[in-house]
Amino acid sequence: MISCRENPTYDCLRSTESGSVMRKRLESHPNLSFWLVFGLLNCVLFLPALLTSQDGATFWSTVAAAWREPGRLWQVLAIWRPTPDLFRLQLEWLLLNGFVVALRPLRRRGVRILLFGGYFLALIYAIYEALMRSLYQSEPVLYSHYRMLTEGLAFLLDNINIPVYYLVLGLLGGGLFLAALFIGVRLLTSESVAGGINSFSRALLALLVLFALGQAVRYQHLLAQPEMVVSSLFYKVWANAQASRAVYKTVRSFDDSYVRRAYDYRGQVLVTKPNVYLLFVESYGSVLYKRPDYLAAYTALADELEKTLAANGWHAATALSDSPTWGGGSWMAYTSALFGLDINSDPEYSMLMERYQVDDFPDLGGFLRDQGYRYYGLSSITLELPDEKWNRYLKFYGADRWLRYRDLNYDGPKYGWGPSPPDQYALNQARAEIVAETDQPYLLFTITQNSHYPWAPLPPILADWSDLNAAGDDPTPIDAEGIPHETRRKNYFGAVEYDLRVLIDFILREEDPHALFVLVGDHQPPRVSRKGDGWDTPIHIISRDSGLVESLGQYGFATGLDVANFTPALHHAGIHSLLARLLLARYGEHKLALPAFLPDGVPFVGVLAAQSEEREKTP
């Protein structure tokens, strides 16, 4: 490429002169340039949190609410604000600029590059932190999120259809953005700006530095919290490292002897063995109960479906169950339920996956297999794992057979996440495969796919589910992020309604008179719920056995499909002991005492707590 110096044409000279004139204009007003660029780059570090926030409050509304209380007003303006905004200070960015202004040797090219690199890393961390808090309502813990960020992002990119021109525009936009950041840093570290600001600007910068350092001395580790007006990358990284270390120690300390004692069902015998369906409903969260518009529509839907069940001889009971995860990480939710173990971080899950490739975990599937059941899993998503990796999952969960997309003989249109066949087809085809294969009672576990984000488009519900397997083009995916928020919320409710109707239709087609259905949400939906909506999800237990359903009252359930008690009755990890006790109480020999109901399941570090208690009792 020929540079302007080598080819002084009119256009090239004009371009160079134009850039030089703009730079000179900025440098000729060092005070305005310094505060403008410093402020903009400071605000950019808080922009990810603001853009990903689901809270409707603003800086101005927060200040207005505190206006009449001087003490609270000072706190809101200078110390702590509950919702994200741009009017905050980043401690390290402020200090670095203070050093550059005070120390002339720092206004060099090498320092400029280091300053830009540090700023870029701070921005990356801000984006990471914002995503963790908005998508999962989780504190940033890199040890917990590393696999989710790497493998999850790769899986996401494989499963969303982004037009090529979007990618090109994104790359161009990202490049221009980085160039603008570098130009800003370069301007701030130039001799004409950093060395040219007047004494008033220097005094103001010094006051800001003293204020921020005072906050750091006074509040220290609290500067890692997003609500603090002064934010510190150092304390954020330190808190992340400490939390990562704690998770690491938890994973390393796991001992399953405590779990094996808790779920020791030796001698317990089921006389009647109903088919058991543990059906997780993707993104089925209690946000449906906690927003007025959702509540009215959802209650009407639940009442309608309950009447349909009752008219066909089915009974239902409902409660709320706390999920170990929020907005994603379904594998932790359903594994907690199957294992009866509170698994609330991905490293815990990964460690269990590695450990139980040969040994069997004392899970719900194992209990039912010991009672003569066949254990089936279903995953209908079209993007299948390699067979070697899939076999690891099969060994981990201990299923006798896991039905995949290839087993469903489906050639029709595919929808949404994955993409996937219609849940109506996948569920009914899986049951048909199971009934044709075995005459044993069975456990079927699965999680729905059509209620997965982005929630549209949805397949139809047909009277004959097999008619869904008709050749046709896949529907055009929607741009879930390019639609109005209200449209996204409507799409979410539509997807939940679709899957609930499909599941009720699936139940009505069941031939086993004793069959037990458990429908439970995995976690709150991303993008349309907030931290204040909690971590609980609905759980419905449905059977033709009215006595069994009525007995659920002692566990905090209410009859019907509506939630009557907004206090969660159990944790997802408590589902294991609940179902085992429920089945044995209704259909067991009753020669032994019933196993305990553990509403919170077994804590991941339960054995350590038990050992600690024993040591304290020992003289």
pLDDT in tens, 251-283: 998 989 989 999 999 999 999 999 999 999 999
Mean pLDDT confidence for 440-452: 97
Residue 386 banded pLDDT, cuts 50, 70, 90: confident
Of 232, 245, 416, which is closest to residue 345 (Cα–Cα)?
Answer: 245
Residue 498 banded pLDDT, cuts 50, 70, 90: very high
d(Cα 118, Cα 128) in Å, to the nearest integer? Answer: 15
Residue 138 banded pLDDT, cuts 50, 70, 90: confident
Tokens linked to 13: 């000279």
Percentage of the chain modeled with pLDDT above 90: 72
Mean pLDDT confidence for 108-130: 92
For residue 594, the model assigns a pLDDT of: 95
Give the pLDDT confidence of 165-181 residue by residue, as tens digits: 767 888 898 899 999 99
Question: Amino acid letter at 23?
Answer: R
pLDDT exceeds cutoff 70 at 20: no
Mean pLDDT confidence for 492-518: 98
pLDDT exceeds cutoff 90 at 202: yes
Give the three-class secondary structure for 277: strand
Per the model's pLDDT, the better-predicted residue between 6 and 397 turns out to be 397
pLDDT exceeds cutoff 90 at 141: yes
For residue 161, the model assigns a pLDDT of: 57
Give the pLDDT confidence of 281-312 residue by residue, as tens digits: 999 999 999 999 899 999 999 999 999 999 99
Predicted TM-score (pTM) of this structure: 0.86
Contact yes or no for 376/434 (Cβ under 8 A): yes
Domains present along the chain, CATH in parentheses: 23-246 (no CATH), 272-473+482-617 (3.40.720.10)
pLDDT exceeds cutoff 60 at 614: no
Tokens linked to 330: 């379904």
pLDDT exceeds cutoff 50 at 197: yes
Tokens linked to 265: 């069902």
Task: Count CB atoms within 10 A of the CB of residue 445.
Answer: 23
pLDDT exceeds cutoff 60 at 6: no
Residue 4 banded pLDDT, cuts 50, 70, 90: very low
pLDDT exceeds cutoff 50 at 617: no
Alpha helix ranges (H) inside 45-103: 47-52, 59-66, 70-78, 91-102
pLDDT exceeds cutoff 50 at 423: yes
Of 430, 489, 512, 501, which is closest to residue 459 (Cα–Cα)?
Answer: 501
Residue 242 banded pLDDT, cuts 50, 70, 90: very high
Tokens linked to 496: 């939940």
For residue 61, the model assigns a pLDDT of: 86
- Averaged pLDDT of the chain: 89
pLDDT exceeds cutoff 90 at 589: yes
d(Cα 383, Cα 419) in Å, to the nearest integer? Answer: 8
Task: Pick the range with the lowest mean pLDDT from 32-36, 145-149, 195-199.
Answer: 145-149
Give the pLDDT confidence of 540-570 residue by residue, as tens digits: 999 999 999 999 999 999 999 999 889 999 9
Residue 16 banded pLDDT, cuts 50, 70, 90: very low
Tokens linked to 166: 């979007």
DSSP 8-class letter at 286: T
Tokens linked to 38: 């410093």
d(Cα 316, Cα 314) in Å, to the nearest integer? Answer: 7
